[in-house]
Structure 1
Amino acid sequence: MLKRDQAGYLFERKITPFIIPKEQVVVVDPDWSLERALLVLTRKGTNSVPVINKVGQVEGLISKTEILDFMFKISQGNEIDFSQLSKYKVQEAMNKNHSGILANSIFSFAFEVLINRSYIPIIDIKGMFVGILTRKVMMEQVIEYFKEEYMNTVADQI
């Protein structure tokens, strides 16, 4: 059984070591066309990316689903005209409700935020994009922690 202070070690530590730096993250500009954004999403094999403005701040997220939903909304009939993608900008279709969390946030807060998201943008105190934190990385940390706890428990019983 985990002691309260042992569990605190994981959930009270900072997320900083787990952040994927911005240089390794695929991003799009809010002024890009939806066509260009969809091309980037498709070529990079990802469903969603942060939208970063020219000064380096997170404006939201854009995904293939949001692009399709936007195209459905503007379509005149039941068919989507993909030739229209070049006429619209990322900022018109992006999800603006994902501004990010601070880089010095604690593990438990980030873990809670990531429950229903695959990643979250990470920002500094000035609101500048630092990188992303993925649910996968967080889950790997939890699994590693519990493996270590299990091994310690088994070792204590021997």
Structure 2
Amino acid sequence: MMQTLKNSQLVNNEINELIIPHEKVAHVHKNNPLNHALLVLIKSGYTAIPVLDHENKIQGQISKAQILDSILGLERIEMERLNEYVVEDVADPDIPTLQTDSTFGEALMRSINYPFLCIVDENGAFIGILTRRSILALMHRYFQQT
């Protein structure tokens, strides 16, 4: 079965049709206050979102866990610290990116450890995201047809 998948057209297809465009993606800017990032995360229902700079280039990702970890004191959660930090103080700068001409096989491999992959153009500008969910849905459809 895996050999069939490896030789199939699926892994060589481009990922364009699976990309969620940046206009529909919850994100924050690196200079936003941490309380804003937490609000966006809570309202969106996501556990992590992309972090962008003023040129809309990917700077990393931020998660609820990172925010909570940054305000966790020895005795209590120090909510006042939400106003003392900005997103780039706690964001994870290590986030995998792909370009629009990347193959499905590349996306599948990189999505193993991440809930989403950021898609960038040749200048590094944010195009959108590719979710692990969309990758798995396509795999499911593929296996239903074979």
TM superposition score normalised by structure 2:
0.93
2 CA distance for matches of 1:126 and 1:32? 23
Percent identity between the aligned chains?
A: 31
Q: State yes or no: 1:63 paired with 2:63.
A: yes
Amino acid at match of 1:37: A
Q: State yes or no: 1:91 paired with 2:91.
A: no
Amino acid at match of 1:108: G
1 CA distance for matches of 2:25 and 2:4? 36
1 CA distance for matches of 2:5 and 2:89? 47
Contact persistence 1:50–1:121 (CA under 8 A)? yes
Equivalent position of 1:17 in the other structure: 17
Which structure 1 segments of 5+ residues have no match? Answer: 150-158
Matches within 5 A, 1:6-85: 7-72=7-72, 75=73, 77-85=74-82
* Per-residue deviation, 1:7: 4.1
| Larger Rg, first or second structure (1 or 2) | 1
Amino acid at match of 2:21: P
* Residues 92 and 143 of structure 1, relative CA distance in 2, 3 Å threshold: same
* Residues 2 and 53 of structure 1, relative CA distance in 2, 3 Å threshold: closer
Equivalent position of 2:100 in the other structure: 103
* Per-residue deviation, 1:2: 8.1
* Per-residue deviation, 1:46: 1.2
Deviations 1:36-86 (Å, cap 9, x if unpaired)?
Answer: 1101111111111100111010000001001112223xx3x2322112201
* Per-residue deviation, 1:8: 2.2
CA root-mean-square deviation: 1.7
Which structure 2 segments of 5+ residues have no match? Answer: none
2 CA distance for matches of 1:87 and 1:110? 37
Equivalent position of 2:130 in the other structure: 133
> Once structures 1 and 2 are overlaid, which stretch shifts more, 56-65 or 78-87?
78-87
Contact persistence 2:5–2:11 (CA under 8 A)? no
Q: 4+ residue runs of structure 1 moved beyond 3 angstroms? A: 1-7
SS at match of 1:50: strand
SS at match of 2:9: helix
